[in-house]
Structure 1
Amino acid sequence: MGAVVRFDAVREHERTRAALAGAVARLGQLLSSTRDLDAPSGLPSWTVGDTAAHLAAVHLAYSSAVTDEPVDWSGILPSGEDGLLAERIAAVNAKAIALFDGEQRSRIGEFISERAAAFLGATAGLDPEDPVATPWYGPERSLTVAAATGLVLSETLLHGLDIARGTGDAWPITQDEASLVLGQAIPTMMPLALDTTRSRGVRRSFDLAFDGGLRLSVVVDDGTMTVTRDDTPTRPHDCRITADPVTFLLVSFKRAPMWKAIALGRMRAGGRKPWLATSLSKLVATP
């Protein structure tokens, strides 16, 4: 695995921005060559067009959060803070897909490219720690610019894969792209997605070590979770998960089966309690 790589937050944020621009360009090419938007996608209940519409809504949401073109979320977002993050996102998804229907879907690739450019333009030069309002994650919720950029990259890569699986096209995700998502977005999103009911009374810690040097420390403590980078713990973690970053990303978001990753040696468990490895995915909800 090699030594832990200490990261430069500003430089890594710039790399994430460049990766997002590249992924959006690839997505535009993929969508422009797609002839059947009604074909099943890589997601069980969505067509290629549905998946693209969801992704368009994602880019609209994040671009509106950093520009002077606000979205009226009152008719889209569920009220209150009840429910898991996955339930809130599912409710938003159901409405978001309807925002891009009919003729609008014929130019959805152009729309995504425009909104991605607006997001990148508005956030250029901002401090990676500056806040971005994200009400779809809950009232008064906000993320840092770095986390928001990482999340938009994650959505673009994963849903690009879903679309490509529906069209039969190639959609490679590189180790560098996956590492940027894991380093920039996951430390924020894992605690947000924690199942507080299942994690109540649970106390355990995980050392996530990825090919390339990225390291995350995950601590679950009675309904709360903290995720830190390049952490030096005061005591050994309960479980260490060693993984290829692309594999971990795909398994975490249910785009690849865990058993296959383990069989191929792309995910391995160690530490004092290696059997706890599979429990991590049960504690974190995936929208």
Structure 2
Amino acid sequence: MNRKRLGGRRMGIVTTFDAVAEHERTRVALRAVVLRLVRLLRDVPDLEAASGVPVWTVGDVGAHLAGVHVAYSTGFTDETLEWDALLPPDSGSFSERIAAVNATSIGLFGGEERTRIGEFIGERSEMFLRVTEGLAPDSPVNAPWLGKDLPLTLAAATGLMLSESLVHGLDIARGAGLPWTIGPDEASLVLGQAMPTMMPLGLDAEKARGVSISFDLAVKGGPRLAVVVENGAATVTRDAPPRTYDCRITAEPVAFLLVSFRRMPVWKAIAYGRMRAGGRRPWLAMRLGDLIGSP
């Protein structure tokens, strides 16, 4: 297996992270979270109850999650999906495309199928982990639902499956009135593995036109991301070399994950001391969420 170490600086201290080891931790976290998700869905008293996602029921969220796990596991098996029939034309913004794909996903499972959707998610997640075991984290993944010719890696795909399971588990739990926790280590893995790929995709190109802003995103106990918006495009670099930034955002991992997915208002994270802004232009912190939409 190709093992590589990536280096950077954190608060003036040289740091490194092992890409292979972190990917393996993400796989372990995904398996554990999906086991919790299966139990959660089994305990849901009413699949028709409103969820934490506007206009979606708890059952809709479960169906969407099942679609997510099917999509990623199918990419590594002999199964085929008629993506041209399932996906909208490759046009419009990334957010519009994802909204259309999400709307399609909740219709893939209905009726009695939804009563065992937790078990189905568990089976497909285990299939994904089994068929990708031993593959390098930078192995390419075909993800047509995100866009044609998107250079998605296995590490990013695993992080995305973890984020979907964590955040939508919260949506289900809120609708069902059941407990659900997101741990800081789990959130940190999502931010380090998935966000460098997903944040640039979520950039609103119109709002970013003519904008030049650099953010230093320091996640407590987690990754450090350099987010640079320039000329209508965004780049996100893990543990980038030192440079001068317009704004530094320091955040607890769970708070930043929930704010990024619009499950927590930014004012609440700030009021509770879970996020703060600094640097030479700290007021620009509010622009990050305006420029980059929910993954």
With structure 1 as the length reference, what TM-score do the two structures score? 0.97
Matched, 1:153 2:162: yes
Structure 2 partner of 1:13: 23
Number of aligned pairs? Answer: 285
Q: Aligned to 2:16, what secondary structure does the other structure show?
A: coil
Structure 1 partner of 2:7: none
Which ranges of structure 2 fall in alignment gaps of 5 or more residues? 1-9
CA RMSD, Structure 1 to Structure 2 (Å): 1.2
State how 1:1-287 maps to structure 2 within 5 Å.
Answer: 3=13, 5-80=15-90, 82-233=91-242, 235-286=243-294
Which ranges of structure 1 fall in alignment gaps of 5 or more residues? none
- Name the CA shift for 1:75/1:250 in 2 (closer, same or farther; >3 Å): same
CA distance in 2, matches of 1:194, 1:44: 22
8 Å CA contact retained: 1:194, 1:285: yes
Describe the superposition over 1:139-198 as per-residue Cα deviations: whole angstroms up to 9, x where unpaired.
222410000000000000000000000111111100000000000000000011111111
CA distance in 1, matches of 2:30, 2:232: 33
Describe the superposition over 1:7-45 as per-residue Cα deviations: whole angstroms up to 9, x where unpaired.
100000000000000000000000111121001111121
CA distance in 2, matches of 1:65, 1:282: 33
The amino acid of 1:27's aligned partner reads L
| Higher relative contact order (Cα pairs below 8 Å, separated by 6+ residues) | 1
Q: Aligned to 1:247, what secondary structure does the other structure show?
A: helix
Q: Aligned to 1:7, what secondary structure does the other structure show?
A: strand
CA distance in 2, matches of 1:268, 1:124: 39
The amino acid of 1:56's aligned partner reads A
8 Å CA contact retained: 2:208, 2:231: yes
Describe the superposition over 1:111-152 as per-residue Cα deviations: whole angstroms up to 9, x where unpaired.
101110111111110010010000011122241000000000
Runs of 4 or more consecutive aligned structure 1 residues displaced over 3 Å after TM superposition: 1-5
